[in-house]
Amino acid sequence: MKNIKPITIAKWIFKILGYTLILMTISIIFKKSIYIDNANYGIWCLLISIIIFLLNNTVKPLLFWLTLPITAITLGLFYPFINILILYLVSFIMGNHFNITGNIFIVFLIAILISLMNFIMNEIIDWLFRKEK
């Protein structure tokens, strides 16, 4: 088993907390399209964020490689559909505590916004931890 550095664990924690804030923001903006259980709202957001983080690091690379021809043909326009699939997978795992409703265009917009916010958050976290070295 490889040694995991404390700085790596700190980056994971910051990314999960960032995912939680992003998910809270998106669920507030799109109240009719994303539902998160109001009982213990913060805990559900944190749990959903952990699941999204795990799926993004395990399942998403596999889905990316499987759909690479379609993504290449559509010049990258298919990539948000992988994020949509991850969101629906989390919705399936969480049951009644996290639901995605609405038409595909709204869900597509949500997936793009989440991806954009995640990209910005990851760049900020990487920049912060680059300063630490």
Tens of pLDDT along 79-131? 889 999 999 999 999 999 999 988 889 999 998 998 899 899 989 988 888 86
Angle 116-33-114 from CA coordinates, rounded to 5°: 10
Residue 85 per-residue DSSP state: H
Question: Can you say how many angstroms the Cα of residue 102 is from the centroid of all Cα atoms in its chain?
Answer: 19
Per domain, the residue ranges of the chain are: 6-124
**pTM of the full structure:** 0.84
- Please give the structure tokens belonging to residue 2: 């490889």
Q: What SS3 state is found at 100?
A: strand
Both tokens of 67, joined, read 């759909």
Q: Hey, which bits of 25-129 come out as E strands?
A: 34-36, 98-100
Place of tokens 């490689």: 65
pLDDT digits (tens, 9 = 90+) for 18-68: 999 999 999 999 998 999 988 889 899 999 999 998 998 899 999 999 999
| Sign of the alpha-carbon dihedral angle for 101, 107, 111, 116 | negative
- C-alpha span between 87 and 68 (Å, rounded): 19
Distance of alpha carbon 48 from the chain centroid: 9
